[in-house]
Structure 1
Amino acid sequence: MKLTDEVFRSFRVSKVFRENTDRVNCLDFSANGDQMIASSNDDSIVIYCCLEGRPKRTLYSKKYGCDLLQYTHAPNAIVYSSNKVDDTIRYLSLHDNKFLRYFPGHTKRVVALMMCPINDSFLSGSLDRTIRLWDLRSPNCQGLMHLNGRPVTSFDPEGLIFAAGIESRQLKLYDLRTFDKGPFATFRVRQDHPNCE
C-alpha cells in the first residue's frame, strides 16, 4: 500500500489504551514487531502485544523513573534512561523484571538513546553535552564525544555509521569503527526554514 495523503486521511483510531496515568514519554517496537513498549511519567513501563492488540504486562520503575527506552536485540530486554535519582541507563530483563546491568556516566538527563541495528552497541546523548557509545556486555563507556550543545543521535540501518546532531545547527556523520578520528562529513543546518502550517 502506498502511503498517500488520502490513505492517511482514511485512517481511524481503532483502539485506545488507558494503562498510564500520566504522559507517555517514549514508545518502541520489538525487532519482529510482535510487541510494543511504552514508558510514562507515572513510572510505568507497559508491554503491549501487537498481535492481539492488548496490554500484556506492566512493570514499574518507581525508584528511578523511566524516560527513553529501546528494545535490545532480545525481545525480552530493554535499555532505558531514568528521570529520577541519577542519569544512569539501565538494562532490564522484561522476563523477570531484573536489572542485568547499569551504565553510569552521564551527569545530566539523557535526551537521546539508540540501539545499533546489527550488534549490542548503543548510543546515548545527554544534556551534559556528551554522546557515549556503550556495549551491553560492559558497564564501561566504549567511547565518549564532547559536544558544544544538546545532542541527538541515530544509527544508519547497517549500523556502520552514526549521526550526531548538535543544537539543530550541525549534523556530523561518523564511521563507528573510527569515530575517535572525528566526523567524515559535517553539514550545517539552515535556520531559515519557513514555518509549517
Structure 2
Amino acid sequence: MSLTELDDDTVRSMAIGALFADFGGKINSVDFHRKDDILVTASDDDSVRLYDIANAKIVSLCMSPVNDSFMSGSLDHSVRIWDLRVNACQGILHLRGRPTVAYDQQGLVFAVAMEGGAIKLFDSRSYDKGPFDTFLVGGDTAEVCDIKFSNDGKSMLLTTTNNNIYVLDAYGGEKRCGYSLEPSPNTNIEATFTPDGQYVVSGSGDGTLHAWSVNTKNEVASWNSHIGVASCLKWAPRRVMFVAAASNVLTFWIPHNSNADTDPMDTETETHAEHHSQ
C-alpha cells in the first residue's frame, strides 16, 4: 500500500504483519532508506541487518560463493542483486513470472528460472547486458521452485512446483534425467546434489526420501523421512551426510551399520536419553 492511500480507517487497522525474534541483544537503532524499500537495524549482538520491505514476497535467495553479494527473486517478477557491505540494491532485473535464482560454484554465472520452463543464464559481471543463453525445460511449464548447480558446474538441478525433478546439462540445457514425486499440496520440496554430482536426493509428498544415480537414471535408495514432507534438503559439502527439515524438525542423515538390530532413529533417541541421564 502506498502512502497516498492513507486514511483514518487504514491507521486504525494497523497490526503486526511480521515478527523477527532472533536478535541476540537490544536493538539500538532502525532506519529506512529514503528511496528504496529497505530497512537497516543495529543491535547489541554486534549485527547490522538489512531488510527488504517490498510488498512482493521473496521466494528465492542465493549467496555468491566468491564474495559478499547475493540475489533475491520475488513475486513482483524482479531479481535483485545485493551486497552485504552496502545498504542498497546494486542491480535489478525485471522478468516474467516467479523467478528462482542460483549462482554457479565459481560465482561467474547465475541462472534464473522463470515462467514457461525457461532458464536464463547471465554473466555475473555484465548481467545488465541480458542473458547470454536461454534453455527450455521441454514438456513441463510448471514454475521452478528451486534451482542448483552441481559443484563441477556441469549440471543444473531443477525442482518444480508440481514435484518434478530434472537434471540438465548446464552448458547446452539438454535434459539428462527426470523424476516425478508424490504431490505435496502447499509445500514445495527441495532436491540436492551429492558433492560429486553423481546422485540426487529429494523429499516427496508421501513423506519419503529418495536417491537416484544421475549416470544410470535409476533410483538407488528410498527411506521413511520420519518427519513428514521434507521441504528443505541439503547434502554437506565435505561429509557423507545430508540434512532434511520439515516445519520445526531437523534431521541429520549419516551412514548406518546395516547389520545393526536397531533403527537409527531409536538409537538416536536412546543416545539423547543416556546423555540427559548422566
Question: Do both proteins adopt the same fold according to a TM-score greater than 0.5, normalized to the shorter chain?
Answer: yes
Partner of 1:166: 204
3-state secondary structure, aligned to 1:98: coil
Partner of 1:38: 72
Residue 181 (1) aligns with residue 218 (2):
yes
Task: Find the aligned partners of 2:67 and 2:198 in 1 and give their Cα distance.
Answer: 23
Conservation of the 8 A alpha-carbon contact between 1:124 and 1:132: yes
Cα RMSD of the aligned pairs, angstroms, is 3.0
3-state secondary structure, aligned to 2:157: strand
Listed as ranges, the gaps of 5+ residues in structure 1 are 1-6
Partner of 1:9: 24
Task: Find the aligned partners of 1:192 and 1:54 in 2 and give their Cα distance.
Answer: 39
Partner of 2:121: 91
Task: Find the aligned partners of 1:168 and 1:99 in 2 and give their Cα distance.
Answer: 39
Residue 143 (1) aligns with residue 173 (2):
no
Partner of 1:3: none
Residues 175 and 139 (structure 1), Cα distance of their counterparts in 2 relative to 1, 3 Å cut: closer
Listed as ranges, the gaps of 5+ residues in structure 2 are 1-21, 26-44, 230-246, 250-278
The Cα shift of 1:132 comes to 0.8
Bigger Cα Rg: 2
3-state secondary structure, aligned to 2:173: strand
Partner of 1:114: 148
Conservation of the 8 A alpha-carbon contact between 2:157 and 2:165: yes
Match of 1:101 among 111, 118, 134: 134
Residues 53 and 76 (structure 1), Cα distance of their counterparts in 2 relative to 1, 3 Å cut: farther
* % same residue: 15
Residues 17 and 169 (structure 1), Cα distance of their counterparts in 2 relative to 1, 3 Å cut: closer
Task: Find the aligned partners of 2:81 and 2:87 in 1 and give their Cα distance.
Answer: 11
Tell me: higher relative CO, structure 1 or 2? Use CA pairs within 8 A at least 6 residues apart.
1
How many residues get paired?
A: 184
Return the letter of the residue paired with 2:214: L
Partner of 1:155: 193
Residues 45 and 19 (structure 1), Cα distance of their counterparts in 2 relative to 1, 3 Å cut: farther
The TM-score, its normalising length taken from structure 2, stands at 0.57
Deviates more, 1:168-177 or 1:40-49: 168-177
Conservation of the 8 A alpha-carbon contact between 2:167 and 2:175: yes
Match of 2:168 among 113, 130, 134: 134
